[in-house]
Structures are given as structure tokens and as C-alpha cells.
């Protein structure tokens, strides 16, 4: 590519304000243009970048056996995918099947300051693998995930696959692909002493199992007009931990009471797993929903509560005396002992972790970190989006197909790569996804000798199947150097003063030194570097 | 690709009814699946076909200097395109600029029986080129169009670029890319004696300029309750050609009268050009629109008609006596002479051609043929979709950028290629867009020697960078031959009885004879054929 022809200027500054430097760099480098709130056009250099990234992902995923399909954007992914191949799978011999597509999707709510991150349109690589009903999926998942980790490493990202909740609650397997980043919106709890690392949503923690067992009978206390935990704390002069708060939630038409310690927050993700429903199906109960229960809003408690299932957090059940609502206006009950004064239908961990909690593995203390989620991976279980998605097993019996879904958010991935690979001058592309491997810069395009040498080197490298861009613009050397840095091309070859001696300047984007080399040495060094990275 | 792993079965028959064999073949061959009315999934073999076709188009269009961008699907194409590059063009030195994208678009109205042709989603390659205000566009257009013709020829299509109306009426240049086909929905008029070929919408024709000049004064005639031309013909015992019918049309708020011979149909495309408006802006006038005119519905005529512009078809103005409406209930006027009894504001050709008309070039007679439109090409003129789409000319003056737009309907193109290249057994791919160049068929996969030879040939051809598919399925020879024909792969190499002698069977899809060749001969012949087609 001749840079003088490339549509898309580099910019010194931009009007838009983004909170990530990657978003600025995408625009300053002339790769993307923000033409309206959250609406982007990808200019030719950006197309090259995106195509490189997508090709990189595709090659690796196809090596794992995934085959590409083009799905219509017109209906729900899993349904569409299953309908598309229902008739292609008849027998157990045809399983497993691995399919993927790359799709442009629309976001409901644009987040302008996030640039491409929150753009109206986003691109996803979405994979689905289908298995026999009794296949051991956890092994198969590990294999795919390990390969994804390797793949991300190739483009300079330390990807973590952390257990996460399964949004459909359709199986035990669910991972998020995250990369640590201070600006990320995902919270991670990491043990300071052992390897335990978990997303906040599903992080477990240690509780002291040996609570002192005190003997005391329950006793009603008059708490007029006190409805919040804060008010109760002040009124009784107690700590939040001494309270057992009871929350009423609704799943479809059923109301469920959840009892947890006053200082804890209900974790809906953990609760959804306990209740075996999708997290999206859990709502807080409204006054209307509880009008037939023998209780009063603000004074709900587990003792004597009738007609609902009671889920108690394990911290409540480990022992101790609690203060709880009395199900009667202006009254609470003290000295409540779980198991003695009320029976829970289920005891489980349904609380959010807190920073002062302890590692569930070794009891070490936690450090709270941030990460960005680039993709996810989860068990679809049996596909119930369509009917008769099945196969015949070796004995001829009809069995159901099970599936695993995963996705990668490509724009996010691109942004994170830049976020992790740039300096104050611009992008520093990992070689495997660099839009061009080499930039050949002719310092004075008025000098015929320089131009000829530059074009010769350009043609030679192109002939060797590298991606080369020739800076043949009528610009000053300073501008050319600045732009080369901004664009982030790994190898820079400058045709300068010593062109007549066949000496050029060779520099790698991530190194500060440059060297003067004979042309053939510079070419040799370039090819050696790129071959090491398996570019050809 | 190992065929045993390929997701997508060949089918003997299909449930859907399409009126084109290409649509059936796309499904029978396992390339596409119709998962709901007008909604298709492209299975892996179809992805390969589409990718080949798109890559083929992209390579050629990039050779013409077009650079790819990705446009958001969220707003109108020309507006979006112009906004995206407005800030990239400042000076005349940066023009012309050539850009394209490949986009999936949605059709408002699905046409189920047409298969992919009328599917809910369709794919277009859309190009825009931008020029200086005073560039001679017709030359530049011819160049692009000539290249398109060559490109289509490479995939076995005789593409015609026929003048067409400009849908925006934004310039004189407008072409449709069509391929002749009996089942096409475009009508073409072709002269039997010369090269004149035209789309029905814009076809011109010869009229007899020497009409006899008869002298007769106009005279009112009583035509009670006669409102249609048919009734008038019967009542007066005359021919349609003797009538001058007057149609009232509306453009925005203005009513215009169009006078044409009773046997002619008003051609809105021609009229739009005469009136310099978009064809979509012309409506038939309603009673409400003409209530202030001195006329009566059913008896409208040009004589004495006031307050409207009058457009007369040239056939009316060439001379002769006509019968026309008298603008008064139950009356017509006879012996009307255009120019004498009424003056037209504009005289032009605004009639549709008829089969009995004569060639405008040589006076020869016409033959009416059908074609299918694969794409279009037209002058956008000055881009008024956005403000300030301009550049500075060499004297520093601000000038407006002008543009040319063109598009190719990719699914239609794919369908037409198959329509033109198939026989009763299946598809016959033009080599340049064949999903695989070679199918290597192992006749018995139980025979280790055959399998080894097949895999060796497969690896060798793949190593030479050809696209090869290995039929390693556990199927009978008959099934394998049938499927190879259905899929339409150009070269078939069969590993059969003489495998132990290193003899294979070599056959081209479009030839009926097959030959027995030594392995190295078969490979040599294959490579020679593919190199001739510039495959590597």
C-alpha cells in the first residue's frame, strides 16, 4: 500500500473525549471515524487491522475443528444455529460438531465515552459445539479454553478464564474470558496467599464455622416505625452482623424468602444457581405479591413465616443469636437461632463476597482487582430452543444433543490489545495482527535515488508475502516518524541520507535504538524476525 | 477438507419449491439451508463458495484502486459514506477517492419462491468513487464498467451494461448490469438489424416524422357518459391512435398535464428525466389536486387547459388531427392539432416502447428479451446528503465533490452463475470461484492402499495451495460420483481399482469422458489447468 493513496489521515488531536487511550489511538491513527454518537466507520487501515485480527482468530478456531457458517441476524443465536443443523446430525457418529460465525450485532444502549467499546454496532465471533448427551463436557471445554489462552498469548494478552455464573443456568460449566486492567468493569477477588482467583459474582469465601453457641430464648422487641437496618442498628445499639435480614424474591409466581446476615448483600447469581433458574428470572417481590403472606413489609422474618420456601445463607445457619423481623408491624424478635426457631428449606451460600473476607481455599486475605471481559463460554445443556434436536445413539435410541456456546467480542479484544500495547507515541502492534509488518519510509520523495531504493525494498518485501506500507507522502521526516510510531507498525525501514551507499535505518517499534544497516542486512533481519513469528 | 467432517449433507430432494434450479441446487448441495420463510443459513460449503466469490470481486475492485471500508448499517449509504470521509479530503490533490464495502442488508418484503433471490437478507458490494466537480465522469465510468464486464466474463457471465434511469435523477450517467435470462424480470428491447439494445424503461423508438398535414378546424362533439378510451373508441368508431389522452400527474404540489397518443403508456422514468425530478416523486393527481382546474375528470384535454404545465409526447407534436377531452362534462373535441390548438411547454419522448415499434438508430424491428439485473451504476452528482462535502481546487477555491455509486447484488450474482453453469446432475463451477478446485474421491475407505494414495494426492495438491476436498466418506461409489457432480467441483480424481498400479481416474466436471492416468500425470494435468486459470 502506498501511504499517499491511503484514505484516512492521522490526526494530532481529536474532538471526542474517551476515557481509554485505545479509543483515541484508533481515531488518531486514521483507522476509525466516529461519524455520529456511537456510530463508527472503519477506514481502510482499520479494515486491515480488523481483518488481521479476525483472520488470526479464525485460523486458530478452525484448527480446533470449528467450521464457519453464516447465520441470519434475524433470530436468536442458539435457536438459529440449532435449526440450521438439525437435519445435518442424525447419528452419534456425526458428533461432535463445531461451528462458528462472525456477526455484527447491535447494542441496545450506546455508551458514547467508551468509544468502540460501547458502540452501536459490535462484532462477535460466536462458536457452538454440539456433543452427545453423555459426553464429558468439562474435559472438552478445558481443551478449547486452553487453546484460547494460547491464542491470546500470541497477541500479547494474559487471558484468564474464570468461573462465572451460567446466564441460562443450563449447566455447571461457565467461564468468562477476562484480561486484568485497572479500568475494567469486572471485579476479581484474588487470594494473596494461594492461586484462588474469582469473579465477584461467584466468589466464595471462608466463614468461621465455630460460632459460639449461646443459649437464649427468642423474645419479641418493640421497634416502632423502624423499617431499615440502619434505623434498627441505631435503635438497638447493635451491629449489622447481629441481624438476620429476610428478603422476599419472586420467581415466576412463587415467592421465596432469603435470610442472610444484615451486613451481607444478596447475590442473585449464587441464588439463581441454588434455585436452578436463570438469574434474569429472579425479581424482588412487590407489595402485591406478598399481600397474602402472614407478614408486614419492613418486619419480615423467618420465624413463623408461612407459605414460602425459606433459603438461609450458610452464615445464618452456622450458629449464633440473631435479631429478625417478627412478621408483625413494629416488632422484631431477638435471640433467633436458625434451625431451632425456624427451619430453612435450603441452606447455601447466597451472599456477595466482601473485601475483608477470607479465601475459601487457604483462609488468606483477598486483594480486589479489576478486569475487562472479552468473551464467555458456557454450557447450553440440552437445547430446548427448538424441538427434536436429537440423534440416534449406537443402539438406535433417540438421544438429545447438548451444546457449548462461546463468544469473543472482537472490538473489545482489539481495544484491549491496543490498551496493553501502546506508549505515549502510539500503538505497538503484536506482530501477528499488525496491519502491516513493515513501513518503508522514503525521507525525501523529491530525491529520485531514495524513491527508487524505497520502492525496490517495498516490492521485495511484498514479493516475500509480507504486508508492507510505503510512506511515499510529501511530508517532512518528523511527520513520517511520528506517524510511523502512531500507526504502530513493528518494523520501520528508513531510506535517508545514506541511500546512495545502500544504507538504510532499521528500527523496531518497541525499541528506542535504531541501526544503520546495508539494505540486504536490513531485509535479512526483517525476514528473520517475521519468520520467527510464523508470519510466512 | 475431509468430506466426512464437513457439516452439511447433500440431499436427493428438498421440500421447498423454488422456480429456479439454482435455488434448489444451493440447498441440495448442502451449501444453504432455508430455516424459515426467506431466512437462510449458509453452511460451511456455502461459506466457502461465497467467500470465493467475494474475494474474487474484491481482488478485481481493489485492482481498480478501490479501498475497503466498513460502514455502519445504521444510516443511509451515501450519507454515511460521505460523512465518513468528509474530513479525509481537503484538497483536489486527494481526489479521486475509491471506496467500497460489503454489507448484509434487509429486504422489506421477502419473496419466498425466489429462494436466495428474494431472501430476507441480501449481500451487496457497494462502491463509491468521488471526483472533482469538473472531472469528466463519463470516461471514468466507462473504465470501471469495462473492467466489470471483464470480471464477469472470468466467471462465465456475459454481462451487459445498459443505460437506465437514474433513480435519484442526480446526473446523466446510469447503467444497470444485467445478464440475459429467460426467467429474468427485466425487459430488454433489442434491434434485429443493428446493435441497439435497451432496457424497456428507457428504450427509445422511431416515429414517423412525416405525418400527413390535414386541414380541419376543431369541433366539439357530444360524448355523453363516455369516460374511458375504450368507450370512446366504440362510440366514435375510431382507433386509439387517433386520440390524444391527457394525464394529470403531481410533483410535490404542482400538477402537470402530459399529453400522449391513446395507444401509448406514460413512461414515468422518461418523464422524471424531462422534469428533472426523481421518479419516486411523481404521483398520479387525485380529484382533490385538480379541483381548482378548469376541467372535469374523464374529459381532460390540452385545448384551453389553464394553470398547468403541458408536456406533449413528441408523437402528438409531429402533426395529425387528434380527438381530445374538452375539459367539460360529456364533451370531446376533434381535429385537435398540437401547436395550433394548444401549446406544449415541453415536447419530449415520454412513452413506453411497444413491440411493434422500430429501432431509433436504424428503423429495424425489435425483439423483446428478458434479463436479470445484478447491479447498478449511477452518477450521484453533487452529494447533497450532507453539508460541506467539498475540497479546495488548485486556486484555493472551495468546490463540491461529485460521486459515482455502484453496487453488485452478491446472492443474485451467485444464483445467476449457477443458473448459467449447471446441468441436470448439478452445479458446474467456473474454476475461479469454485469452492474447491479438486475433489479426490477414495472409492473404498476400507482399503488401506487406496486411502493412503488418496491422502497423499490430497496433501500434495493442498501443499501446492489448491483448494482440495477429500471424499473419505464411507459411501458407495455411485453416491460419491453423484455428489461430486452435484457439488460441481471442476477436477475429479478418483482412487479406484488400479490404485495399486498408481493409476487414478481423472475427469473434468464439464466433460463426459474420463481418463485413466498415472498419479503424476493426473497431478500435472490438474496443475496445468489451474495455472492456466491463474489459480496460483
Model pLDDT for residues A389-425, shown as the tens digit of each residue: 999 999 999 999 999 999 999 999 999 999 999 999 9
User: How far apart, in whole angstroms, are the C-alpha atoms of residue B67 and residue B98?
Assistant: 6
Q: Which residue, among A9, A34, A38, A69, would best test binding to B if mutated, counting the most B CBs under 10 Å from its CB?
A: A69
pLDDT of residue B212: 64
Cβ-defined contact of B83 to A40 (cutoff 8 Å): no
Domain end among B304, B319, B348? B348
DSSP A497: G
Domain end among A358, A387, A419? A419
- Give the HSE-up count for residue B334: Cα atoms under 13 Å, Cβ half-sphere: 11
Do B35 and B184 belong together in one domain? yes
A214 pLDDT exceeds 80?
no
Q: Where are the beta strands (DSSP E) in B206-318?
A: 219-222, 244-251, 254-261, 282-284, 309-313
Helices (H), ranges, B367-422:
410-420
B79, B128 contact by CB (below 8 A): no
B179 pLDDT exceeds 80?
yes
Contacts of A106 in chain B (CB under 8 A): 74
pLDDT of residue A226: 84
Contacts of A87 in chain B (CB under 8 A): 9, 33
A209 pLDDT exceeds 80?
no
Do A406 and A451 belong together in one domain? no
The reply to whether B429 falls in a domain is no
User: How far apart, in whole angstroms, are the C-alpha atoms of residue A169 and residue A218?
Assistant: 39
pLDDT of residue A200: 97
Model pLDDT for residues B351-410, shown as the tens digit of each residue: 999 999 999 999 999 999 999 999 999 999 888 888 889 999 999 999 999 999 999 999
Contacts of B44 in chain A (CB under 8 A): 67-69, 99
Q: At A158, is the pLDDT very low, low, confident or very high (cuts 50, 70, 90)?
A: very high
Q: Where are the beta strands (DSSP E) in A337-486?
A: 346-348, 366-382, 390-392, 398-400, 402-409, 422-423, 426-427, 438-442, 468-471
Residue among A171, A149, A175, A152 nearest A162 (CA): A175
Q: At B171, is the pLDDT very low, low, confident or very high (cuts 50, 70, 90)?
A: confident
The reply to whether B14 falls in a domain is no
Task: Tell me the residues of A at the B interface, defined by beta carbons under 8 Å apart.
Answer: 5-9, 30, 33, 35-36, 39-44, 46-47, 50, 65, 67-75, 80, 83-85, 87-88, 97, 99, 104, 106, 120-121
- Write the CATH number for B94: 3.30.930.10
pLDDT higher for A116 or A426? A426
pLDDT of residue B121: 93
Minimal CA separation from B105 to chain A, in Å:
10
Do B228 and B344 belong together in one domain? yes
User: How far apart, in whole angstroms, are the C-alpha atoms of residue B177 and residue B159?
Assistant: 6
pLDDT of residue A299: 93
Least confident residue range of A146-155, A209-218, A228-237: A209-218
A420, A179 contact by CB (below 8 A): yes
Cβ-defined contact of B69 to A120 (cutoff 8 Å): no
The reply to whether B209 falls in a domain is no
Contacts of A30 in chain B (CB under 8 A): 88
User: How far apart, in whole angstroms, are the C-alpha atoms of residue A138 and residue A404?
Assistant: 10
Minimal CA separation from B169 to chain A, in Å:
27
Q: Which domain holds residue A251?
A: 219-348
Do B313 and B380 belong together in one domain? no
A374, A179 contact by CB (below 8 A): yes
Q: Indicate if ipTM > 0.95.
A: no
Q: What percent of chain A has pLDDT over 70?
A: 99
Do B304 and B395 belong together in one domain? no
Minimal CA separation from B411 to chain A, in Å:
13
Cβ-defined contact of B83 to A41 (cutoff 8 Å): yes
Closest residue in chain B to residue A98, using alpha carbons only: B7
pLDDT of residue A499: 94
Cβ-defined contact of B70 to A46 (cutoff 8 Å): yes
Do strands B254-261 and B309-313 pair parallel, antiparallel, or not at all (unpaired)?
Answer: parallel
pLDDT of residue A229: 84
The reply to whether B65 falls in a domain is yes
Going from the C-alpha of B258 to that of each of A431, B277, B424, the distances in angstroms are 67, 15, 51
Do strands B503-508 and B282-284 pair parallel, antiparallel, or not at all (unpaired)?
Answer: unpaired
Contacts of A435 in chain B (CB under 8 A): none
pLDDT higher for A291 or A468? A468
Q: Which residue, among A41, A107, A435, would best test binding to B if mutated, counting the most B CBs under 10 Å from its CB?
A: A41
B456 Cβ contact list (under 8 Å, min separation 6)? none
Dihedral angle, C-alpha A205, A211, A217, A220, nearest 10 °? -40
Mean pLDDT across the stretch A232-248? Answer: 92
DSSP calls for B369-411: EEEEEEEEEEEEEE--SSS--EEE-TTS-EEE-EEEEEEEEHH
User: How many structural domains does chain A have?
Assistant: 3
pLDDT higher for B534 or A59? A59
Closest residue in chain B to residue A50, using alpha carbons only: B70
Do A406 and A441 belong together in one domain? no
B83 Cβ contact list (under 8 Å, min separation 6)? A35, A36, A41, B386
- State the maximum Cα–Cα separation within chain A, in Å, rounded to a whole number: 99
Do B264 and B176 belong together in one domain? no
The reply to whether B282 falls in a domain is yes
Mean pLDDT of chain A: 93
- Write the CATH number for A495: 3.40.50.800
The reply to whether B111 falls in a domain is yes
User: How far apart, in whole angstroms, are the C-alpha atoms of residue B319 and residue B340?
Assistant: 10
- Write the CATH number for A255: 3.90.960.10
Q: What percent of chain A has pLDDT over 90?
A: 82
Cβ-defined contact of B84 to A47 (cutoff 8 Å): no
Do A58 and A174 belong together in one domain? yes
Terminal-to-terminal C-alpha distance of chain A:
19
Q: At B213, is the pLDDT very low, low, confident or very high (cuts 50, 70, 90)?
A: low
A112 pLDDT exceeds 90?
no
Dihedral angle, C-alpha B109, B115, B119, B121, nearest 10 °? -170
pLDDT of residue A436: 97
Mean pLDDT across the stretch B147-171? Answer: 93
A19 pLDDT exceeds 70?
yes
Do B230 and B117 belong together in one domain? no
Do strands B468-471 and B438-442 pair parallel, antiparallel, or not at all (unpaired)?
Answer: parallel
Contacts of A40 in chain B (CB under 8 A): 72
Of the candidates A7, A35, A88, the beta carbon closest to that of B67 is on A7
The reply to whether B4 falls in a domain is no
B215 pLDDT exceeds 90?
no
Model pLDDT for residues B445-491, shown as the tens digit of each residue: 999 999 999 999 999 999 999 999 999 999 999 999 999 999 999 99
Whose grid coordinates read 495455472?
B531
Residue among B187, B117, B101, B170 nearest B385 (CA): B170
DSSP H or E segment with residue B317 = helix B314-317
DSSP B299: -
Contacts of A97 in chain B (CB under 8 A): 7
Model pLDDT for residues B11-26, shown as the tens digit of each residue: 998 887 888 999 999 9
Do A179 and A282 belong together in one domain? no
Whose grid coordinates read 471483464?
B150
Q: Which residue, among B4, B29, B67, would best test binding to A if mutated, counting the most A CBs under 10 Å from its CB?
A: B67
Model pLDDT for residues B423-456, shown as the tens digit of each residue: 999 999 999 999 999 999 999 899 999 999 999 9
Cβ-defined contact of A83 to B44 (cutoff 8 Å): no
Task: Tell me the residues of B at the A interface, defined by beta carbons under 8 Å apart.
Answer: 5-9, 30, 33, 35-36, 39-44, 46-47, 50, 65, 67-75, 80, 83-85, 87-88, 97, 99, 104, 106, 120-121
Number of residue pairs across A and B with CB atoms under 8 Å? 113
pLDDT of residue A232: 87
Do A99 and A167 belong together in one domain? yes
Contacts of B106 in chain A (CB under 8 A): 74
Q: At B211, is the pLDDT very low, low, confident or very high (cuts 50, 70, 90)?
A: low
The reply to whether A260 falls in a domain is yes
Minimal CA separation from A32 to chain B, in Å:
9
Cβ-defined contact of A72 to B47 (cutoff 8 Å): no
- Give the HSE-up count for residue A331: Cα atoms under 13 Å, Cβ half-sphere: 12
Q: In what order do the strands lie in the sheet with A219-222?
A: A219-222, A331-336, A322-325
Do B321 and B452 belong together in one domain? no
Amino acid at each position: 500500500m502506498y501511504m499517499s493513496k491511503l484514505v484516512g489521515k492521522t490526526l494530532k488531536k481529536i474532538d471526542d473525549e474517551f476515557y481509554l487511550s485505545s479509543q483515541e489511538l484508533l481515531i488518531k491513527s486514521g483507522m476509525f471515524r466516529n461519524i455520529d454518537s456511537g456510530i463508527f466507520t472503519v477506514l481502510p487501515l482499520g479494515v486491515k487491522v480488523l481483518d488481521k485480527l479476525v483472520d488470526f482468530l479464525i485460523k486458530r478456531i478452525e484448527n480446533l475443528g470449528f467450521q464457519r457458517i453464516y447465520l441470519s441476524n434475524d433470530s436468536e443465536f442458539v435457536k438459529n444455529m440449532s435449526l440450521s443443523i438439525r437435519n445435518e446430525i442424525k447419528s452419534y457418529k456425526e458428533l461432535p460438531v463445531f461451528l462458528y460465525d462472525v456477526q455484527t450485532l447491535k447494542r441496545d444502549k450506546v455508551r458514547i465515552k467508551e468509544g468502540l467499546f460501547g458502540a452501536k454496532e459490535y462484532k462477535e465471533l460466536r462458536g457452538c459445539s454440539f456433543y452427545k448427551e453423555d459426553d464429558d463436557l468439562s474435559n472438552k471445554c478445558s481443551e478449547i479454553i486452553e487453546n484460547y489462552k494460547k491464542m491470546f498469548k500470541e497477541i500479547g494478552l494474559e487471558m484468564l478464564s474464570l468461573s462465572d455464573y451460567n446466564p441460562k443456568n443450563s449447566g455447571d460449566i461457565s467461564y468468562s474470558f477476562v484480561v486484568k486492567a485497572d479500568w475494567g468493569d469486572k471485579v476479581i477477588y484474588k487470594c494473596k496467599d494461594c492461586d484462588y482467583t474469582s469473579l465477584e459474582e461467584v466468589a466464595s469465601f471462608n466463614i468461621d464455622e465455630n460460632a459460639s453457641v449461646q443459649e437464649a430464648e427468642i423474645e419479641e422487641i418493640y421497634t416502632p416505625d423502624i423499617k431499615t437496618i440502619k434505623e434498627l442498628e441505631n435503635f438497638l445499639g447493635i451491629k449489622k452482623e447481629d441481624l438476620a435480614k429476610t428478603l422476599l424474591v419472586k420467581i415466576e409466581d412463587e415467592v421465596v424468602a432469603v435470610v442472610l446476615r444484615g451486613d451481607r448483600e444478596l447475590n442473585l447469581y449464587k441464588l439463581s444457581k441454588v434455585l436452578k433458574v436463570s438469574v434474569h428470572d429472579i425479581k424482588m417481590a412487590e407489595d402485591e405479591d406478598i399481600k397474602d403472606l402472614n407478614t408486614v413489609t419492613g418486619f419480615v422474618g423467618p420465624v413463623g413465616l408461612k407459605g414460602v420456601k425459606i433459603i438461609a445463607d450458610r452464615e445464618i445457619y452456622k450458629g449464633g443469636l440473631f435479631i429478625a423481623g417478627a412478621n408483625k408491624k413494629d416488632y422484631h424478635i431477638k435471640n433467633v437461632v436458625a434451625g431451632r426457631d425456624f427451619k430453612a428449606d435450603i441452606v447455601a451460600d447466597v451472599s456477595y463476597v466482601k473485601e475483608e473476607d477470607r479465601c475459601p481455599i487457604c483462609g488468606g486475605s483477598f486483594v480486589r482487582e479489576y478486569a475487562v471481559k472479552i468473551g464467555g463460554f458456557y454450557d447450553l445443556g440440552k437445547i430446548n430452543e427448538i424441538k427434536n434436536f436429537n440423534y440416534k445413539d449406537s443402539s438406535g435410541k433417540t438421544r438429545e444433543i447438548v451444546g457449548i456456546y462461546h463468544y469473543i467480542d472482537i472490538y473489545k479484544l482489539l481495544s484491549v490489545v491496543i490498551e496493553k500495547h501502546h506508549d505515549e507515541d502510539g500503538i505497538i502492534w503484536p506482530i501477528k495482527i499488525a496491519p502491516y509488518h513493515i513501513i518503508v519510509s522514503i525521507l525525501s520523495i523529491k530525491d529520485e535515488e531514495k524513491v527508487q531504493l524505497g520502492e525496490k525494498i517495498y516490492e521485495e518485501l511484498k514479493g516475500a508475502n509480507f504486508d508492507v506500507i510505503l510512506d511515499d507522502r510529501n511530508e517532512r521526516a518528523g511527520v513520517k516518524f511520528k506517524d510511523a510510531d502512531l500507526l504502530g507498525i513493528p518494523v520501520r525501514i528508513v531510506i535517508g541520507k545514506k541511500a546512495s551507499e545502500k544504507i538504510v535505518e532499521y528500527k523496531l517499534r518497541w525499541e528506542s535504538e535504531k541501526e544503520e544497516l546495508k539494505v540486504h542486512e536490513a531485509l535479512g533481519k526483517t525476514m528473520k524476525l517475521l519468520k520467527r513469528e510464523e508470519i510466512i
